[in-house]
Structure 1
């Protein structure tokens, strides 16, 4: 299989966390990166319209805004707060010029996963009219089961597919992150189904290192771990996906390194291992 095209390389702003958005954008552009997914904290205190213009002026495509979600809660009042926050997220995405929001759907420790999934589906349904009116698509991202207690009750592609089927909207899809789904024995079949159903909305890459030092913030650069990223990319492309390959790495270890050098390592790993 051929190396991926640099024209499809996107980096999440969180990947180079020590840099502000206004530091990261020109540096990404200078090494040939073509897309960026903006994390909401990078926009805090900034005008999203101005940020969007700055990004486009540097020749980068805005791939998505990350993240919405966290719909489940123990009380109706808190669930309404989550819905309102997701509407604000949609407004930010529209102002920024992002066509997609990635949803980390949420979970409540001690609440049944079935109940959390019901609340997630209801929460997405509640904000869908707002998303459609804004022209912003919502991508459900299944998270690895180790996050099922508190970060997401959506842990497999099949569960995300069931939600897409229930919601039955062209404004809902699935974000495939290899870190979260590489272990799934049904992954190839589910990617094919997502392609057939038109719900394959985003593709994220990094690597799984073992042993890891932190459950959340010790992801690896592509090629450092055990994920067969290239094979999964092949499945995604065979299913008809033509969007960006998005590098999304949370790593205390890598954030402590020189970010200019790290950016060059990302580019090389992307070409060699993705």
Structure 2
């Protein structure tokens, strides 16, 4: 398996973190994204630490949602406290990157929502810097407007600049945009994570992820361009949706990891 392949826990949230880590070890995936909704449960961090102690995959990324189930016009400073806890968890597990879901805009204009997001993140920046954890914010489909505000790569970079953090390029949410090479070039100095999946034409629901190689996304060109521009991090497979459920998370994840590994090897990553 290519050393830069990373598998996201999202397809395995009905299982324990230990089971997910064990599965990654079994199929040879070297890196993982772990999620705070599970890690913040009682004993969640200790479970992950015990599973990681057996060797094999490392926790490369932690995913943390801000204002999940609410919106930025309704949440208080407790969201900053939760993010501080997420930073502590990432540092404890040795994960150098956290990627954030921003929270929805609610009744706010985009600019006001962005400022509120930045206000919530600001108290956490010194702790993240001290602990060596890079905070990033992802691009996400507009079908996720209830939980996120950055739905183009340009808006994601703009939001990251406002908040003083990094960028997670979610290819599922931007592969169809124009002038991508220049957008990647602008984003690259801030980019701490790239997420990969495929899309099958005609899927009109969310989440709508497909295994790498099953759809129409020009993955080899996208990854080649990102590598050419100097990206040195992992490539995260965030697999979720009916296609993944139908095939089964284990079979789909293994196939996606192997296909991504082949592409990265071909590209000389």
Q: TM-score range by the shorter chain?
A: 0.7 to 0.9
1:265 maps onto 2:255 in alignment:
yes
Other-structure match for 1:31: 27
TM-score (norm 1): 0.85
Alpha-carbon contact 1:99-1:136 (below 8 Å) kept: yes
Residues 1:180 and 2:173 are matched in the alignment: yes
Q: 1:116 to 1:186 in 2, by over 3 A?
A: farther
Count matched residues. Answer: 261
Cα RMSD after superposing both structures: 2.4
Structure 1's consecutive aligned runs of 4 or more residues displaced over 6 angstroms after TM superposition are: none
User: Could you list the per-position Cα deviations for residues 13-66 of structure 1 after superposition, in whole angstroms to 9, with x for gaps in the alignment?
Assistant: 113344422122222122221101101233223241551352253221211111
- Could you tell me the TM-score, scaled by structure 2's length? 0.86
2:134 alignment partner in structure 1: 137
Match of 1:201 among 171, 175, 192: 192
Q: Pick closer, same or farther for the CA change 1:144–1:258 going to 2, 3 Å.
A: closer
Structure 2 unaligned segments of length 5 or more: list them: 265-269
Query: Within 2, Cα distance between the matches of 1:261 and 1:147?
Result: 26
What residue number does 2:72 align with? 73
Cα–Cα, structure 1 residues 110 and 250, in superposed 2: closer, same or farther, change >3 Å?
same
SS in 1 for 2:42: coil
CA contact (8 A) 2:117 2:163 kept: no
Q: Secondary structure at the match of 2:185?
A: helix
Aligned counterpart, 1:7: 3
Name the stretch that deviates more: 14-23 or 231-240. Answer: 14-23
- Do the aligned partners of 1:6 and 1:32 also contact (CA within 8 Å) in 2? no
Report matched runs for 1:5-154 at 5 Å: 6-43=2-39, 44-70=41-67, 72-75=71-74, 78-148=75-145, 150-154=146-150
